[in-house]
């Protein structure tokens, strides 16, 4: 079953050596992380041309979907090389790693807000409320963060990922053997998500920015895309082109609606509970992106932009670093411009934020290499080395 699942990946399984990584996957993940950084800078100029500007969904759907795809890839590879039990144990541990990343990100959001507030106190995205609570009631505030009741600013996306990783040992076997059961259960859970969201732990009745009961649908779709040959079967059919035309029509129609019809402000539930229109818009875009992969276009682009793929390979570290980068750059830009659009400063802020994020994996690798203990050589090896 594992072998079958591996063979049912994208049309062309393009991997790099023994790492079993898709070149396209790393490229898309890196690109999405760069987009997320600029999308959280209010005065960004680049964000005027990113996904959310012309679609009802944004980079969040892509990020979660790719997370499901990457998770399935890693699980299948580990299960085939070792065993199912090893793969299950790895993703239970992964859940705790994501929880730790959430705590680190929350602490960085609070620390950055504390440092920035005296100079950029008018910036709208500083975690001032959580910071004030921490100052007035530190023990209770820390307990709230540990229990996910408080999720300072951009740390809010990580709690649902911890739940998803914990559910992987259940999701992957179903994705391989009973995909329609998994999809049906996921859709039912998504439909019930608005009611279930009220039971999530929170303080002062603040709802989570991302309702995991809703967003699990994106994660499950990513898992199914990796484990089932749905795209291959449909695209290879003689009428497969009709689906591509329909996807293009949906993307164009949604862009028209977003740009010319939709009011400027949308209720936060539209994103929190993953509205159906967002899902439909994403699926149409994903189908067109899959066509780019199928015809080798992304494979040709990715080697020319290796730094983007490097960000994708160090996804967790770059996400955490990106939260700090976007908060700092957004706060400085907001103060310099008074909250108004300034084209030169907006582009300058984009350049700074993108450059800093691209530098993260380049700086991290030599640092990790320097602090990683070197394996001790045995006597025979030392003697051979000396000769």
Model confidence over 28-60: pLDDT tens digits? Answer: 999 999 999 999 999 999 999 999 999 999 999
Helix (H, G, I), strand (E, B) or coil at 123: coil
Please provide the distance, in angstroms rounded to a whole number, between the alpha carbons at the two ends of the chain. Answer: 49
Contact present, 368 and 317 (Cβ < 8 Å): no
pLDDT in the model for residue 8:
41
pLDDT in the model for residue 266:
82
Nearest to 44 by CA among 327, 338, 333: 333
Half-sphere exposure of 378 (CA within 13 A, CB side): 1
What is the chain's Cα-based Rg?
A: 22
Contact present, 149 and 202 (Cβ < 8 Å): yes
pLDDT in the model for residue 22:
81
Residue with tokens 């000396």: 386
Nearest to 215 by CA among 273, 293, 291: 273
Half-sphere exposure of 173 (CA within 13 A, CB side): 8
pLDDT tens digits for 247-266? 999 999 999 999 999 877 78
Q: In whole angstroms, what is the distance from residue 150 CA to residue 144 CA?
A: 5
E strand map for the chain: none
Contact present, 56 and 257 (Cβ < 8 Å): yes
Secondary structure percentages of the chain, helix, strand, coil, to 5:
80, 0, 20
DSSP string, 271-323: HHTT-HHHHHHHHHHHHHHHHHHHTTHHHHHGGG-HHHHHHHHTHHHHHHHHH
**Phi, psi of 22, deg, nearest 5:** -80, 130
Q: In whole angstroms, what is the distance from residue 110 CA to residue 54 CA?
A: 32
H or E, element range at 254: helix 240-256
Q: In whole angstroms, what is the distance from residue 70 CA to residue 219 CA?
A: 10
pTM of the predicted structure, to 2 decimals? 0.89
The count of other CB atoms within 10 Å of the CB of residue 166 is 16
Cβ-Cβ contacts under 8 Å for 221 (sequence gap 6 or more): 65, 68, 186, 283
Nearest to 22 by CA among 32, 10, 34: 10
Q: Which two tokens stand for residue 95?
A: 């859940």
Cβ-Cβ contacts under 8 Å for 302 (sequence gap 6 or more): 23, 24, 26, 27, 308, 309
Contact present, 298 and 292 (Cβ < 8 Å): yes
Residue 143 domain boundaries: 2-386
> What is the number of structural domains in the chain?
1
**Phi, psi of 15, deg, nearest 5:** -125, 160
The count of other CB atoms within 10 Å of the CB of residue 386 is 6
Alpha helical stretches, state H, 18-58: 23-39, 51-54
H or E, element range at 99: helix 84-120
pLDDT in tens, the chain (387 residues): 443 443 443 443 344 433 445 899 999 999 999 999 999 999 999 999 999 999 999 999 999 999 999 999 999 999 999 999 999 999 999 999 999 999 999 999 999 999 999 999 889 999 999 999 999 999 999 999 999 999 999 999 999 999 999 999 999 999 999 999 999 999 999 999 999 998 999 998 788 999 999 999 999 999 999 999 999 999 998 899 999 999 999 999 999 999 999 877 788 899 999 999 999 999 999 999 999 999 999 999 999 999 999 999 999 999 999 999 999 999 999 999 999 999 999 999 999 999 999 999 999 877 666 665 665 555 444 444 444
CA 7, 12, 16, 17 dihedral sign is: positive
Helix (H, G, I), strand (E, B) or coil at 146: helix
The CA-based dihedral angle spanning residues 340, 346, 352, 355, taken in that order and rounded to the nearest 10 degrees: 140
């Amino acid at each position: 079953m594992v072998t079958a699942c591996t063979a049912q990946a994208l049309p062309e399984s393009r991997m790099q050596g023994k790492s079993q990584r898709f070149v396209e996957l790393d490229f898309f993940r890196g690109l999405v992380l760069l987009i997320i950084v600029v999308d959280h800078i209010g005065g960004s100029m680049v964000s005027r041309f990113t996904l959310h500007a012309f679609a009802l969904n944004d980079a969040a759907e892509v990020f979660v979907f790719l997370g499901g795809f990457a998770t399935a890839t890693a699980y299948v590879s580990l299960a085939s090389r070792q065993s199912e039990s090893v793969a299950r144990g790895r993703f239970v541990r992964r859940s705790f790693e994501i929880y730790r990343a959430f705590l680190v990100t929350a602490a960085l959001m609070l620390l950055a807000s504390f440092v920035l507030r005296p100079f950029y106190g008018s910036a709208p995205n500083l975690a001032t409320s959580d910071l004030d609570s921490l100052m007035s009631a530190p023990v209770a505030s820390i307990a709230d963060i540990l229990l996910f009741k408080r999720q300072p600013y951009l740390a809010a996306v990580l709690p649902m990922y911890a739940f998803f990783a914990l559910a992987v040992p259940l999701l992957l076997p179903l994705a391989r053997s009973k995909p329609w059961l998994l999809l049906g259960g996921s859709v039912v859970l998504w439909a019930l998500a608005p009611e279930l969201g009220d039971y999530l732990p929170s303080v002062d009745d603040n709802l989570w920015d991302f309702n995991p009961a809703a967003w699990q649908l994106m994660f499950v779709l990513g898992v199914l895309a990796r484990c089932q040959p749905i795209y291959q079967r449909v695209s290879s059919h003689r009428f497969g082109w009709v689906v591509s035309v329909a996807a293009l029509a949906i993307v164009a129609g949604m862009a028209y609606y977003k740009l010319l019809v939709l009011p400027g402000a949308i209720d936060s539930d539209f994103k929190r509970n993953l509205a159906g229109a967002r899902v439909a818009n994403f699926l149409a875009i994903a189908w067109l992106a899959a066509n780019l992969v199928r015809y080798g276009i992304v494979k040709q682009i990715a080697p020319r932009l290796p730094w983007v793929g490097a960000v994708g390979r160090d996804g967790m570290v770059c996400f955490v670093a990106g939260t700090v980068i976007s908060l700092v750059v957004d706060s400085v830009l907001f103060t310099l411009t008074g909250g108004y659009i300034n084209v030169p400063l907006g582009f300058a802020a984009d350049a700074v934020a993108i450059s800093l994020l691209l530098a993260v994996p380049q700086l991290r690798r030599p640092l990790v290499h320097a602090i990683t203990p070197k394996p001790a050589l045995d006597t025979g090896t030392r003697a051979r080395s000396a000769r």
